[in-house]
Amino acid sequence: MLVGVCDFPGSYAFPPAGYGGIERWLWAVAVGARTAGAEVHLIGPGWLADLEDQWVRKPVRLEDITAGSLAERDLKSAGYDLLVVGHEYPSRPAWVRTWRELDCDVATFQHSPTFQHTPTAFDGERSRLYCYSPEMAERYAAHSPTSELAVHLGLDEEEPPAVKGQDLVWLGRVDEDKAPHLAVRAAQILGRRIRIVGPVFDEDYVHRYERAFAADHVEWVGELGGEAKTAAIAEGLVFVYTYERNYVEAGAAVFGESLRAGTPIAALTWRDGTCAQAALCDRTGATVVADPEADDESAAHALAKAIERASVLDHFEVQATGFARFDPASHFKALAAL
């Protein structure tokens, strides 16, 4: 089977060393495809040039290819069986034109809760859409999505053997959508330290909660990548997951990252059917559904109870379950409909 994994214009590298969403998913698909025995081409100029030592790299984007061009003939002669792309591409006419010339299957994962697809983007057979959570599948029901937990990988982020850490860890972009101030307050309620790992995307948000973020029990780590990022997760006693009441998590890389590192998760949600419920079970974490009408203090107390429940879980079992549930090769086979 020949698989083309396509990049897109973005601010992160392919593959990313630290953060990124769809970029990490595309790299996991490429790794999973190769592990499953498929031949893989990395399509697009965004893929790191030094990958050419071990991967076939085609530095063109399908949407930029003109009809009858040398680039089109080159890709067509390769005989792709499957293209894996970012979620918006099956709805982009220029991309679709080239894809139809290549005459192969296409699969994508819905990483945005708001993007509107064209009515004919997916037929459920040759063009397939995959969604993480029940709420995402419901949002895109018109496109007959398949439920599947996404796997995300970064460069040099292999997980070490599980250990039981000491402090809590929160990882992600620091902004109002992700609401890390709730994790900080829950840690304070429990008398525990918490490490905040990730880049600040919203300075106004950080300033608004400056008193909470400046507390003695909070350690600001900043943005990490590679082994340092993986270690920051693995060394946590519990990974604390939060988000703002109206935010919809579509892809949720952190669940797979944390479980594969052996760190159980305490997740605060505001409704049923979210990524947290899809990804976690009693062996891997604790999820609490807070009342969206309740204040932050009530939500933080509910989250604190979830942290306590997650803190007694076996890190070795968490990691074993994480490797099984978020396995790149198995994920690729699902996307390829094998």
Q: What is the pLDDT of residues 134-176, one digit of tens each?
A: 999 999 999 999 999 999 998 888 898 999 899 999 999 999 9
Model confidence at 218, pLDDT cuts 50, 70, 90, reads very high
Start-end ranges of CATH 3.40.50.2000 in the chain?
Answer: 168-322
b (16+ CB within 10 A) / e for 187-206: bbbbebbbbbbbeeeeeebb
**Lowest mean pLDDT across 10-24, 231-245, 305-319:** 10-24
Residue 291 amino acid letter:
D
Model confidence at 11, pLDDT cuts 50, 70, 90, reads confident
Half-sphere exposure of 268 (CA within 13 A, CB side): 35
What is the reported pLDDT for 251? 87
Q: What is the CATH number of domain 168-322?
A: 3.40.50.2000
Start-end ranges of CATH 3.40.50.11930 in the chain?
Answer: 2-155
Cα separation, 250 vs 24, in Å, equals 14
Model confidence at 12, pLDDT cuts 50, 70, 90, reads confident
- Class of 2-155 per CATH? alpha beta
Cα separation, 129 vs 140, in Å, equals 9
Q: Confirm if 17 and 156 have CB atoms less than 8 A apart.
A: yes
Q: Confirm if 82 and 102 have CB atoms less than 8 A apart.
A: no
Per-residue pLDDT reduced to its tens digit, 39-48 = 999 999 999 9
Per-residue pLDDT reduced to its tens digit, 289-311 = 999 999 999 999 999 999 999 99
Model confidence at 226, pLDDT cuts 50, 70, 90, reads confident
Q: Does the pLDDT at position 10 exceed 90?
A: no
Per-residue pLDDT reduced to its tens digit, 252-275 = 899 999 999 999 999 999 999 999
Q: Does the pLDDT at position 179 exceed 80?
A: yes
Model confidence at 25, pLDDT cuts 50, 70, 90, reads very high
Q: Could you tell me if residue 94 is left (phi over 0), alpha (psi between -120 and 50 degrees) or otherwise beta?
A: alpha
